[in-house]
Amino acid sequence: MPFTSNLSVCEHHAIRSVGFAPVGQVMGVCVRQLRTQPTNYGCVRGGTEIRDVTMVDRLHYAGFEDAADRMRQECQAIGGDGVVAVGLNMVRLGQGNVEIQAVGTAVRSIGAVRPRTPFTCDLSGQDFAKLMLAGWVPCGMVLGIAITLRHTDVFGRGQVVPPWQNAELEGCTDLVERARMLARLRLRDGCVQRGGEGIVIRRMTTAIHKLECDSGLDRRAEVLMTGTAITQFRHGDPPSPLPILRITGGTNG
């Protein structure tokens, strides 16, 4: 049966070189309604402390998890052992609605050893092959999502700087630092849940938005980290590449 994939030629050959074969392209989709926080949410009793928008965090996380689960189920349905080169995308549909997509290529082990449940990873085909050759395997994709909010006014620590001055926006710095810290913690929690020994991060994005409110301005920081939890199955150094090409043992006369 012909297969479909989102792999390049190099990725296809790299995956086959470590004992896996592509089965087909798989996709998981989740459409969710994500409402923003009410106005003045960042202002707490007239102060400017940083607040975690956990409600929106959970909605984003649940959407990505649902899409990834459906992609994994599709992989299992076509006989795959895992999904590689996974791409996560979020498309805004308007009116607070978003479509979350998870797209990758299902692969199957050529040998006798197969995982009990399909794994997912956002590594490219070449990186997946390098990981396997080094004695490591992917446990699953992990996400770190954090949204923090801070109120800004001329009296508080939100620090409004006149446009003609060059100065650090300490309020924004603190806001982003806290969001990244929370995202890393959630990324680590996901690694522990999947039984991983570490994480290789593939993507990290940060965005800051201004939100008008009745008593000034709110700033919102959004941090998204995606990676793959990995664990070691073989200890010791991988075989080093040969500086010469052997002409015996693997050629046909």
pLDDT tens digit at each of 253 positions of the chain: 789 999 999 999 999 999 999 999 999 999 988 665 554 454 444 445 667 666 677 888 888 999 999 999 999 999 999 999 999 988 888 777 889 999 999 999 998 888 889 999 999 999 999 999 999 999 999 999 998 888 775 444 445 566 677 777 777 888 899 999 999 999 999 999 999 999 999 999 998 887 776 666 788 888 999 999 999 987 766 666 656 666 665 544 4
Rounded CA-CA distance 132/27 in Å is 24
Q: CA 216 to CA 19: how far, in whole Å?
A: 59
The candidate with the shortest Cα–Cα distance to 20, out of 103, 126, 116, 117, is 126
**Which parts of 60-197 are beta strand (E)?**
82-94, 97-109, 119-120, 136-152
Alpha carbons 68 and 49: distance in angstroms, whole number: 34
Phi, psi of 33 (to 5 degrees): -100, 115
Q: Which pLDDT score, from 0 to 100, does residue 155 have? A: 41
Q: To which residue do tokens 């994500």 refer?
A: 34
Answer whether CATH 3.30.110.70 is correct for domain 9-232: yes
The tally of CA atoms less than 13 A away on the side-chain side of residue 130 is 8
| Residue located via tokens 């009793």 | 45
Nearest to 56 by CA among 9, 98, 8: 98
Listed by start position, the domains of the chain span: 9-232
In contact, 22 and 94? CB cutoff 8 Å? no
Is 30 in contact with 63 (CB distance < 8 Å)?
yes
**Beta bridge partners of residue 106, listed in sequence order:** 24, 83
Q: What is the pTM of this model?
A: 0.79
Residue 2 is predicted with a pLDDT of 84
Q: Residue length, the chain? A: 253
